[in-house]
Amino acid sequence: MRPTSNPLDFALQGQGFFAVTTPAGKAYTRNGSFRISTTGSLVTPEGYTVTILDAKGQPAQINPAVPFEVDTGGNITQSGQAVGQFATFNFAPGDLVKQGNTLFRPADPNATPQASTAEVRQGAVENSNVGSSESAVRLVSVMRQFEMLQKAINIGAEMNKKALDEVAKI
């Protein structure tokens, strides 16, 4: 996790996904870079509404003019009053398919997600699990191997051509 000090950035510690509502239905994301819309909804950079539920399980709104805090359980409070809780869910490996850049959907539309126990961290975002410098070094290594194999194939093709020319002369 990378601290950002932005109160609208959230990261999940452990397994789980934030639930979001898209025009095509429910989707799930681990990208916690959110913003507040003018209507008080927490939304993704694409404008999809993040699911926040009140104590009765109904969608909750955040007052955009008042700062809010989120505890590790995903509970949101403003001015000391409980507003709602992030809806976070967990899926078994392989149960999700990628949709766009940061969204996932269940492979089986009838699948029921399990509530997640992941901790929500306010003011942080999740880093990639791949080091950019390591990936660059590995890419250069793979390119060199490819070039060597390509040269070996060309040498083999030349040897075959030369052998056919030699056989045809006799």
> How far, in Å, are 9, 90, 137, 142 from residue 131 at the CA level?
21, 25, 10, 16
* Structural Rg of the chain based on CA atoms: 26
How does strand 10-13 pair with strand 17-22?
unpaired
Six token digits for residue 170: 């006799």
Whether residue 170 has pLDDT greater than 70:
no
For 80-88, what is the mean pLDDT? 92
Residue recorded with tokens 């949709």: 99
- pLDDT band with cut points at 50, 70 and 90 for residue 83: very high
Residue 11 has a pLDDT of 94
Q: What mean pLDDT is reported for the chain?
A: 90
Over range 18-29, report the average pLDDT.
Answer: 93
Q: Using DSSP, state whether 108 is helix, strand or coil.
A: coil
Confidence (pTM) = 0.73
Amino acid at position 165, single letter? D
The closest alpha carbon to 74, from 40, 13, 119, 29, belongs to 119
